[in-house]
Structure 1
């Protein structure tokens, strides 16, 4: 088992699996068991259902149908031969070229008066009986005379119990190439029409069509019978031979002049009779190119017998006489339709031969499919380790799609049959077999990474690491990020209310919703530092509008904190202790930073470093100084111009030499459109102008007006109280070199 697991975990395992699938599929294709043949047949049936042969009513083939109406008018089948003789005469009078019976007249007519008279011998004088019999014409003789006046093809069937001589043949046979008998299907015995009718006919053909399967897909045009020389034709091609008054069949087989067989006995190629040449498969079969059942082919025998059919409907037609009556059970299944009258199969085959419309599976089809499968399958095996999953899926879709589309085009455009199932199915198995193993191994690696890092990295980062474990290397990249630092004001005082377990619960209740708000806006949690949070946006994955998302998160955190404070107040009252409101400061800054895995080879973490990160930390610290909830740097403010921000000062923070223009974030774009916010901005701009110009007394006088404007805009702050104290100090001790820049004393 361990050996197997090692092999499965091997980088080459997907290729090995795919190659084994290919080799096994090729071996199965060489064996070509019956199941594969049936699958191909089902596919070809599907093609014909999608695009059947178009029926052409101009083709001179019709069916005289012994239908329900005819049976109702003339009684059950078999009819007296005198009625059948009258049917033949009517068809002949109206110009039918040939009349082919999809029926076997295997016994004398029991309804013949001559036969019934002979039964009187037991009760009457033999001489009298003989005279009566001589005076009445036999029904079979009547039919034979009608056949002699016409061109009639009688039918015979195959039966292993068939006894006596084989059916009579009316044709000669010649062949070019290999002896055709070795390729033709052999039948055990036959059931034929009685001799008087055979002798009067001009041809004799097999009525059997379903010699291979219950679905009629291929019908042999010639047969051989065990123990007899000679070849016996199918009813359809025999009818056309008689219609042309041709005397023989010419069979072209492998090895004939102009037929390439490369020394192989590939079978029969075509059968010619008269002016018609019929291409066949190697066993002399024609593939039924099915139109489905068409009522236009049928003429009721009752209408013919009653002279209700105009001569032009029958003149020059090849007539097949058969039945569609359900009770006679001559119904067959074809590729397009079930329960089709058997006679319609003969008629369709005759139509195909006259129209020269044939479906063919070429001799080279098996070899072409094998080579295609081997070449394309090997190409997929080679490409599996070279292409990414997405590209391999695209290539596999093209190759598999070609295996589906090309056979369809060959069918619809050229009437050629190529397997649309086995090659694409094998290619799919190769792709699935190879990629599934690679996918399983990758998913196992991803699960390990998720388990190792999912507890303290953002879901986006975990997924990126799972998809690309190579990121778990020391190093970084330069990228613009928006960084957030948050801190709880007066945390020491708050923590004194709780024991260790209570403090843990308190921090979980605070940090969990704050974390959710950050992650839901595509932020990455960098670390928790006691009560503080560091997060950033636009790394490791690109985030559109990252500065705006960070601001949305900060505003949502302040709103959520208000809800939490109310919950904590209610709990404090219930527990009889003093409630200390929790306030947080949030610093946001946007700028370039180095992002990646930082630390040592023993332990590292994904983080961001740089001046922009340090400034975000300093801005968070200034929230306490300025008495506001959220401070953003000027780069962040430039990225969120639609939001409600208010410039509050020019500050040189600890560790910096250049001043930073800092802004309080009051609200989103909706607040920025309010008149109260516009009024506050106007007051604040004038206040800062006076403050920076050194007009400290005038600026001090504006504090009350600015506070009122802030209250009207809904901005909760202690900023103006802080500025009042600063202005008092500046008035008492005005600096000589005042430039309007405040130098921060604390971080």
Structure 2
């Protein structure tokens, strides 16, 4: 009931209001911008990178020295003795590497160092001897520190909230233009730093951590803060770039800096400059990874370097990152393009981006632009919904949603700008679907009302066809073969005299309802009610196979149902102390071609049928009273139902016709037609009619009693033979001149 009220005629604006509520809710959610929406955007941007990844340029001076399976097989499991690492540093320095950045944290002294092992001998020998041995053996960490001192090495440090060590050493100064960048950078609670001996020999120190917010690495901070520590701490990638240039500072440009529009708002960091390279970041100082995916061309085996198998030109002047691609060492990461890449490759890609100046950026105005776009197009959708047809609205929706998908892709593929391609189009689709769905539901509700209203007058097939095809609601028709039925109550005037107006209405409802049900259940179409009469037909508007048989089956069922009704009415009349008047009906059936369709005027019309064969069905029904039978069918109908039990009544010329028609009484169903008793009746009736039409009236009259007995044998006790007895008696008294055996009906 409530849904019907919401969708009713007085609530035609419901689709508009629902679409407006969806828009307002979507705008409010976009303004709040919860984490879930950010993740949705990230997913879309990941798809963009997979469709159009950054093209790897082998000329970019960045390489990865890979501690791969071959290297581990040669030099043993990781961590290696620092002497081996020192040899690797020496080899890379000899080959001319500009900077060596370790994606490794040397957080503890080398446990394999001989100096440490000698010190452990103090429990077994005198301290003086131990001291002499220790002095004679060089410490592994010192060996690495010495190698680093002769090279340009950047060490790695990590973040750990449980760590208690001091902050890593800084080798750089920091300056800023605009707002203090510290307020925008991520804060870390603790660090894991290299041992002081190695830090003292290095030229730089950078964080090896990547994305701290997601399992997929998308944005990497270039600078960090550490709780309780002054200054800023760089990422490994940008620190390697600083050291390679010989730069000494980081210049951070934030909102309010010269040349940067902020309109008085603290919008965050804009760029970080070191040496000649300016790195464009987001407001929190993060660089968005523009992923190429895993590329083997970046990697050079550490074993190959140690064996001098790598030409100097592959390393000279290059920034090299030392890390591992071995899965067992647990340094694998997920990126937008690849599900599993070595962590060191992420650092290398970031350095490549900074050198190539290829950045993905989400402009400061992106949120506002997306909000305004959504508001503008959303208002257009809401305004257009009640004003446009479904097809027109679909075009508008497709254009708006397509624009929301195409513009972000164009911005990414051509300008490397990141605009949300999901939330605005999904919201617009939601507005369209909500409004359209409610409009559709309202239309269906109205159709249901139409079905309910017209179903009182038309058959369900006609109503359904009109509901699906409103274009049929126009004047016109088609010619097709149909079977037409007319029924009428005999002696209705006398029956109606025993009821008042309300009682007569109830009586007619009790009569017409079951009769209508039978017609409709046999796929008939109710044309109209004419007082106590019913007009119906088959094979229109929808084709009905065997429509003549359907009509005959319905007529027999109606007579059977009337017998049951008469028993009920008789019992009621007896209980009320009044006389019961039996109700009898005549049924005429005829099959033929007719014009079927909507007839009437432009103001009012009805679905009906017209034609000579329709008129003949009406005339046959009228002759039921003349011949004293319940059902008369035409010659064409009989030809289409030869398996039904029917006998020929007469050669009849009805009112308005100039040619005689054979009229048949429908006696029973196909089962009766097979009964020997019925076949005997047909034989006697055939002989009887032959005598009658030949003018042998006396002989025909003598056969009537025999025919009556045959009819009684099959249960057909109607007034036909009594009527024929009276007619033939009259013919005997006054023999007609030019007798042809055709009876001309005197009334309709």
TM-score, reference length from structure 1: 0.69
SS of alignment partner, residue 370 of structure 1: helix
Matched with 1:394 is 395
Q: 1:447 to 1:458 in 2, by over 3 A?
A: same
Aligned to 2:111, what secondary structure does the other structure show?
A: coil
CA distance in 1, matches of 2:103, 2:423: 38
- Matches of 1:162 and 1:591 in 2, distance apart? 92
Give the match for residue 344 of structure 1: 345
Q: C-alpha distance in 2, partners of 1:189/1:200?
A: 23
Residue 588 of structure 1: which of 571, 593, 603 is its match?
593
Distance 1:431 1:487, change over 3 A: closer
Q: Name the counterpart of 1:479.
A: 476
How far residue 101 of structure 1 moved from its aligned partner, in angstroms, is 0.1
Q: Which residue of 2 aligns with 1:89?
A: 90
Are the aligned partners of 1:155 and 1:207 in contact in 2 as well (CA < 8 Å)? yes
- Report SS of the residue matched to 2:225: strand
Residue 665 of structure 1: aligned partner? none
CA–CA distance in structure 2, aligned partners of residues 5 and 586 of structure 1: 46
CA distance in 2: counterparts of 1:437 and 1:189, whole angstroms: 57
What's the CA shift for 1:437?
Answer: 3.1
Greater Cα offset, 32-41 or 451-460: 451-460
Which residue is 1:498 aligned to?
none
Give the Cα–Cα distance (whole angstroms) in 1 for the partners of residues 594 and 551 of structure 2. 22
Match of 1:264, SS state, is coil
Instruction: Please list the CA deviations of residues 677-698 of structure 1 after superposition, one character each: whole Å capped at 9, or x if unmatched.
Output: xxxxxxxxxxxxxxxxxxxxxx
Map 1:117-196 onto structure 2 (within 5 A): 117-196=118-197
Quickly say closer, same or farther: Cα 1:269–1:112, change in 2 above 3 A.
same
The answer to whether the 8 A contact 2:482-2:547 is kept is: no
Instruction: Please list, as runs of the form range in 1=range in 2, the aligned pairs for 1:364-403 lying within 5 A after superposition.
Output: 364-403=365-404
Match of 1:56 in 2: 57
**Aligned residue among 621, 629, 634 for 2:636:** 629
Aligned to 2:681: none
DSSP-derived class of the 1:629 partner: helix
Cα 1:563–1:477 change in 2 (3 A) is closer
Matches within 5 A, 1:458-473: 458-459=459-460, 461-463=462-464, 466=467
1:397 CA drift (Å):
3.0
Partner of 2:13: 12
CA distance in structure 2 between the aligned counterparts of 1:4 and 1:618, rounded to whole angstroms: 44
The CA distance in 2 between the partners of 1:510 and 1:88, in whole Å, is 100
Cα distance in 2, alignment partners of residues 92 and 511 from structure 1: 102
CA distance in 2, matches of 1:442, 1:229: 69
1:206-258 CA-partner distances (Å, limit 9, x unpaired): 11113222221100011122222222111011111222222222222111222
* Cα distance in 2 for residues equivalent to 1:374 and 1:215: 32
Q: Name the CA distance, whole Å, in 2 between partners of 1:341 and 1:210.
A: 14
Q: Judging changes above 3 Å, is the alpha-carbon distance between structure 1 residues 170 and 509 closer, same or farther for their aligned structure 2 residues? A: closer
Q: Report what 2:241 is aligned to.
A: 240
Residue 265 of structure 1 corresponds to: 266
* Secondary structure of residue in 1 paired with 2:278: strand
SS at match of 2:215: coil
After superposition, the C-alpha distances for 1:579-610 in whole angstroms (9 at most, x for unaligned) are xxx996444356997456887xxxxx7235xx
Q: Which residue of 2 aligns with 1:115?
A: 116
Cα distance in 2 between the residues matched to 1:512 and 1:111: 98
Does the residue aligned with 2:174 lie in a helix, a strand or coil?
strand
Give the match for residue 406 of structure 1.
407
2:360 matches 1:359: yes
CA contact (8 A) 2:81 2:140 kept: yes
Report the count of equivalent residues.
592
In the alignment, structure 1 segments of 5+ residues that lack a partner are 493-502, 517-523, 539-548, 566-581, 600-604, 631-652, 660-731, 733-743
Q: Report if the CA contact (8 A) 1:526-1:535 is conserved.
A: no
* Greater gyration radius: 2
Structure 2: 5+ residue stretches without partners: 490-510, 556-586, 622-633, 638-654, 659-737, 739-744
1:607/1:151 CA distance change after superposition, 3 Å: same
SS of match in other structure, 1:249: strand
RMSD after superposition: 4.5
> How far 1:105 moved relative to its partner?
0.9
Classify 1:462/1:489 alpha carbon distance in 2 versus 1 (closer, same or farther; 3 Å).
closer
* Contact 2:157 2:193 survives alignment (8 Å): yes
Using the alignment, how far apart are the partners of 2:486 and 2:78 within structure 1? 106
Structure 1: distance between partners of 2:252 and 2:19: 46
Distance 1:561 1:3, change over 3 A: closer
Seen in structure 2, the aligned counterparts of structure 1 residues 7 and 595 have a Cα distance that, compared at 3 Å, is: closer
| Secondary structure class of the residue paired with 1:418 | coil
Q: CA, structure 1 residues 172+104, in 2 after alignment: closer, same or farther (shift >3 Å)?
A: same
SS in 2 for 1:214: coil
Q: 1:525 to 1:68 in 2, by over 3 A?
A: farther
Shift in Å at residue 179 of structure 1? 1.8
| 1:287 and 2:288 aligned | yes
Alpha-carbon contact 2:405-2:425 (below 8 Å) kept: yes
Q: How far 1:464 sits from its partner (Å)?
A: 5.9
Instruction: Give, in whole Å, the separation in 1 of the partners of 2:84 and 2:228.
Output: 37
For 1:639-658, what aligned pairs fall within 5 Å after superposition?
none
Q: 1:70 to 1:180 in 2, by over 3 A?
A: same
2:220–2:288 contact (8 Å) kept in structure 1:
yes
What's the CA shift string for 1:149-188, capped at 9, x where partnerless? Answer: 2211111111234335422222222222222222111212
**What does 1:519-668 align with in structure 2 at a 5 Å threshold?**
526-527=527-528, 533-534=536-537, 557=547, 585-588=590-593, 594-595=599-600, 606-607=606-607, 613=610, 617=614, 629=636
Is the CA contact (8 Å cut-off) linking 2:486 and 2:534 kept in structure 1? no
